[in-house]
Amino acid sequence: METFSLELEGRTLKLETGRMARQAGGSVLISYGETVLLVSATMSNEPREGVDFFPLTVDYEERLYAVGRIPGGFIKREGRPTEKATLSARQTDRTLRPLFPDGLRNSVHIVATVLSVDQDCPPEILSIIGASAALSISPIPFNGPVGAVAVGFLEGRPVINPNLEQSQQSTLHLNVAGTKESINMVEAGAREIGKEDLLGSLGRGHEVIKKIVALQEEMVARVGQPKVEINRPELLPELVGELEPFFRERIDQAMRTAEKLEREDNLAAVKQEALDRYLEEYPDHGDQIKEIFGEALKKSMRTMILKESVRTDGREPAEIRPISCFVSVLPRTHGSALFTRGQTQVLNVCTLGAPRDVQILDGLGIEESKRFLHHYNFPPYSVGEAGFIRGPGRREIGHGALAGRALEAVVPDEEKFPYTVRLVSEVLESNGSSSMASICAGSLAMMDAGIPVEKAVAGIAMGLIKEGDETAILSDIQGIEDFLGDMDFKVAGTAAGITALQMDIKTSGISMEILSRALDQAMDGYRFILETMSATIGQPRPELSPYAPRMITMQIDVDKIRDVIGPGGRVINKITTETGVEINVEADGKIYILAVDLDAGNKAQEIIKELIADVEPGQVYTGKVTRVERYGAFIEVLPGKEGLLHISRMDHCHVERTEDVVNLGDEIEVKVLDIDDKGRINLSRKAILPRPANLPPQDRERDRGRRPGSGQRSGPRPKRKP
């Protein structure tokens, strides 16, 4: 067993190998604070047949024992990955994938198993470092190592690996990874952070990444294994010599087709023509013909942009495609918007719900629920394909989370707007930047729903073409520019600052100078989009949709909750039955009344106010007779609060039978005389009746509280002093 450690921001980062999972290609037990992960990397012995991509799989396995919990439900074991696990796996994959050699077709499987969690040390960052270390010491070809850190922003300065308290106060939640030379993965959510503060945080993060890379290099020097040689078949020089001139003019002409599907058809025809012509002469080299075609396609697009500053659809590098926006496109939803940018189109629908509609989380973090949800759907027809619709995959979950992070920064807090908010983005057409179009459509839909957001949010996807010292930064990239380019850099924000960021690099990394330029161009781009959006709807609607529920919020004393709910829920069920509203009572005494009809909500509120009101001695109430006895009647003076009207206090005259004055269900006025030490309420009707002038002598005695002819008081016997 070998152990390597580094003091990092007051805590120890430790890498251990040789004790666990020794049959994996490489395995590392990584710990930081009291968070511990086991990360393994294994490669198949043979390349996968018939694939033209690198088959990398990253699994991030959450175990609830890591936080001392047993899974809920009937099965009592972990099931499908949580959203957080999926996003953590994607971050690790996006960091590592560009660093494997071209042509590697062996399956590589990375498994990060979370064994213990200290909430001050989030495990997703350790997954990246552990995977890099496991790959670096294994025989698997890998151009690493890489490091990763979380960065917060507090009191005007970046904070590395902030603890839980710092994270909750931070205006930036940034995960950044890279090699010792450059940054190659960024994931961030922010509260309208400025460009300089963001770049400063990235720079500070990269300084620490260099230390983490150095620790892994020390590890490789001591325990690293020789790397496996990848035997990639060489392209036939004579085939390359014939195909390059054949492809050059044809591909260049097809690439200048602005419409996506037409361009794809033209390029497919060029490839098929090459296969038909050259497979007769080279029958066993179909894969090489396709590979040469792919290289020629990539070279054609990149040359057009670098040499001519022209893109496949005729735009200049910083030009944004035509935009159109519509709101209230669906009549019965709470809010809706249709956003189109070029050949990318997203319909977003906003739904408002009760507080109990929150999403319950069953993961390793401290959050137990989410009240703002954004879901992203990407059906096959959006790219002109026939296929199957399954549950959301990693891509859908990742894009939905990114757009949700960008929009969440402007959602009002629960005190101001106590609704659960769900946004659903339906991608109707896609040619790049559909996640950023989801942000724009979601912002419009929230305003259309009347959610009191202070600012609109827009997003834009940036690309990069880099050949040597020549670079071109592209705004609002298409799908082909993402596929054949060097960078996918998504930036979202308000006019005041950035709210979300995501960057993936297909090369080994990107310099801070290029990153700064891309950020400037991105912010100019999304601000231009904001101006276009504001022409459609510039402010939230002053009223909610007539189909959206109205929310009335009340705060009561905790010890009054039982009065509102009643035995077995009878009281609250009666209110909801009578008014048709939905009532949520929180443990802290907060009550939410949800009603489509505001009058019904107000009625329910008045009933609850009466339920929690205290009966006050000396006050007169109109009550309902709930029970009749020989000695008197019980009167409900307030909902759930009954008092005794003794027969002697019903009238100035003598009353023989209770039923002579009141009957079950009658409503009468009574005065509260007192409330005894057991909480019993004593009532009087006589106290509010005028005294008759011609009262018989015996009744006058009774009226004075004495038994006729005895000189003794009538009515309930007074308590004796001890």
122-177 pLDDT per residue, tens: 999 999 999 999 999 999 999 989 999 999 999 999 999 999 999 999 999 999 99
Task: Dump pLDDT digits (tens) for 284-334.
Answer: 888 889 989 999 999 999 999 999 999 999 999 999 999 999 999 999 999
161 phi and psi, to 5 degrees?
45, 60
Number of domains in the chain: 5
- pLDDT of residue 255 exceeding 70, the answer is yes
Q: Domain range holding 256?
A: 237-308
Contact 457, 493 (CB under 8 A): yes
pTM of the model: 0.85
Domain co-membership, 96 together with 209: yes
pLDDT at 82: 92
Contact 471, 561 (CB under 8 A): no
- What is the rounded CA–CA span in Å between residue 441 and residue 438? 5
Q: What is the CATH number of the domain that holds 345?
A: 3.30.230.70
Residue 57 lies in a domain: yes
Task: Dump pLDDT digits (tens) for 482-499.
Answer: 999 999 999 999 999 999
Domain co-membership, 387 together with 511: yes
Domain co-membership, 416 together with 495: yes
- What is the rounded CA–CA span in Å between residue 661 and residue 49? 97
Mean pLDDT value across residues 672-682: 90
Residue 719 lies in a domain: no
- What is the rounded CA–CA span in Å between residue 38 and residue 126? 10
Residue 115 lies in a domain: yes
* 596 three-state secondary structure: coil
Mean pLDDT value across residues 409-434: 94
Other residues' Cβ atoms within 10 Å of the Cβ of residue 654: 17
Domain co-membership, 55 together with 146: yes
Domain co-membership, 203 together with 72: yes
Contact 684, 645 (CB under 8 A): yes
Domain co-membership, 587 together with 624: no
Domain co-membership, 433 together with 505: yes
Q: What is the CATH number of the domain that holds 651?
A: 2.40.50.140
Residue 316 lies in a domain: no
pLDDT at 42: 97
What percent of the chain clears pLDDT 70, i.e. is strictly above it? 96
- What is the rounded CA–CA span in Å between residue 649 and residue 687? 8
What percent of the chain clears pLDDT 90, i.e. is strictly above it? 69
Task: Dump pLDDT digits (tens) for 343-353.
Answer: 999 999 999 99
Structure tokens at 327: 């709101």
CA atoms within 13 A on the CB side of 708: 8
* 558 three-state secondary structure: helix
> pLDDT band for position 103 (50/70/90)?
confident
Strands 344-353 and 420-429: antiparallel
CB neighbours of 233 closer than 8 A, spacing ≥ 6? 288
Contact 624, 667 (CB under 8 A): yes
Residue 187 lies in a domain: yes
Domain co-membership, 554 together with 519: no
Residue 714 lies in a domain: no
> pLDDT band for position 51 (50/70/90)?
confident
Q: For all residues of the chain together, what is the average pLDDT?
A: 91
> pLDDT band for position 692 (50/70/90)?
confident
Domain co-membership, 559 together with 507: no
Residue 718 lies in a domain: no
pLDDT at 507: 81
Q: 171, 189, 223 — which closes off a domain?
A: 223
Residue 722 lies in a domain: no
> pLDDT band for position 531 (50/70/90)?
very high
Contact 473, 514 (CB under 8 A): yes
- pLDDT of residue 703 exceeding 70, the answer is no
- What is the rounded CA–CA span in Å between residue 85 and residue 61? 7
Q: 308, 337, 370 — which closes off a domain?
A: 308
Domain co-membership, 335 together with 469: yes
pLDDT at 140: 97
> pLDDT band for position 235 (50/70/90)?
confident
> pLDDT band for position 713 (50/70/90)?
low
- pLDDT of residue 338 exceeding 70, the answer is yes
Task: Dump pLDDT digits (tens) for 163-218.
Answer: 999 999 999 999 999 999 999 999 999 999 999 999 999 999 999 999 999 999 99
Reported in sequence order, the residue ranges of 170-284 that DSSP labels E, i.e. its strands, are: 172-178, 183-193
Average the pLDDT over each of 232-236, 267-271, 405-409, 441-445 and give the range with the smallest value: 232-236
- pLDDT of residue 710 exceeding 60, the answer is no
Sign of CA dihedral 209, 210, 212, 217: positive
> pLDDT band for position 613 (50/70/90)?
confident
Domain co-membership, 383 together with 254: no
- pLDDT of residue 232 exceeding 90, the answer is no
> pLDDT band for position 719 (50/70/90)?
low
Q: What is the CATH number of the domain that holds 274?
A: 1.10.10
- What is the rounded CA–CA span in Å between residue 259 and residue 70? 53
- pLDDT of residue 707 exceeding 70, the answer is no
pLDDT at 708: 52
Domain co-membership, 367 together with 458: yes
pLDDT at 718: 54
Q: What is the CATH number of the domain that holds 575?
A: 3.30.1370.10
Mean pLDDT value across residues 521-537: 96
pLDDT at 509: 78
pLDDT at 474: 95
Q: Is 572 exposed, middle or buried (0-12, 13-18, 19+ CB in 10 A)?
A: buried
Q: What share of the chain is helix, strand, coil (3-state, %, to 5)?
A: 35, 30, 35
pLDDT at 279: 87
Distance, C-alpha 296 to centroid of its chain? 41
> pLDDT band for position 709 (50/70/90)?
low
Q: 564, 596, 612 — which closes off a domain?
A: 612
> pLDDT band for position 84 (50/70/90)?
very high
pLDDT at 281: 85
